[in-house]
Amino acid sequence: MATKHAVEGLFAETANGPRLLGSRCATCSAPYFPKSPVCHNPECTESKIEDAEFGPTGKLWGFTFQVFPPPPPAKFDEPFKPYPMGFIDLDEGLRVLGQVTTDDMTKVAVDMPLELVIEHLYHDEDGNDVVTWKFKPAA
């Protein structure tokens, strides 16, 4: 059984560790995730899009818990296990959505430091390990 990405091209295990794959405008430094072919900032004078990596560290802006099985197109392993998720402000100026990995949901708190990881999301019908980006409490 192989490891597969939930969606290709959004994240990678680089030589420096896990990173989100996006882009940034060299003129106005607006961040984009996923990648954007052009800069959408109306104040920007010239769109100069370059590939950019985001992560691994940031902090939790706000959070909630998914307590029931989410409807399609979400996918998860049975039986469903609740998980925390939220908006994470990465140090590079990107606000990104993601799950937070923790076995103790009472420890999840606004402003907690987090670190990007690539972890299991669900097993597909062929038994492959499908992974996505998540955030774990930073040491």
Partner 1 sequence: MREVAAVGLGMHPWGKFEDKSVTELCRHAVEAALADAGAQWRDIEAVAAASSRFSGGKGWGLNGNDVVEDMGSTGVPVYNMSAGCSAGANAFNIGHMLVSSGAHDMVLVVGGEKMPKGFIQTSGVEEHTDPEFLRQRCIGMPGPAFWAVLSRRRMHDHGTTEEQMAKVAVKARKNGALNPNARYRKETNVEEVLKSALVVYPLHLFEICAVSDGAAAVVLCSAEKAKQLTTKPVWVGASAVATARFDDGITRGIGGMSPTGITHHSEAAAAVKKAMEGAGVGPKDIDFVELQDNTVYYELAFPEEFGLCEPGQSEWLLENNETIPTGKLPINPSGGFISFGEATTAQGLFQICEVGWQLRGESGERQVPNAKVGMCQTIGLGGNATAVVLKS
Residues lying near partner 1 in the complex (CB under 8 A) are found at 6-10, 20, 22, 30-34, 40-43, 54, 61-68, 70-76, 83, 85-87, 89-90, 93-99, 110-111, 121, 132-133
Supply the minimum distance, in Å, between the C-beta of residue 20 and partner 1: 7
**Cα torsion 107, 119, 117, 31: sign:** negative
Supply the minimum distance, in Å, between the C-beta of residue 46 and partner 1: 16
Supply the minimum distance, in Å, between the C-beta of residue 16 and partner 1: 19
Cβ proximity of 57 and 90 under 8 Å: yes
Residue type, 19: R
The tokens describing 11, both together, are: 């994240």
SS3 49: strand
Supply the minimum distance, in Å, between the C-beta of residue 61 and partner 1: 7
- Cβ nearer to partner 1, comparing 72 with 127: 72
Residue 81 contacts by C-beta under 8 Å, 6 or more apart in sequence? none
Per-residue DSSP letter, 77? P
- Cβ nearer to partner 1, comparing 14 with 64: 64
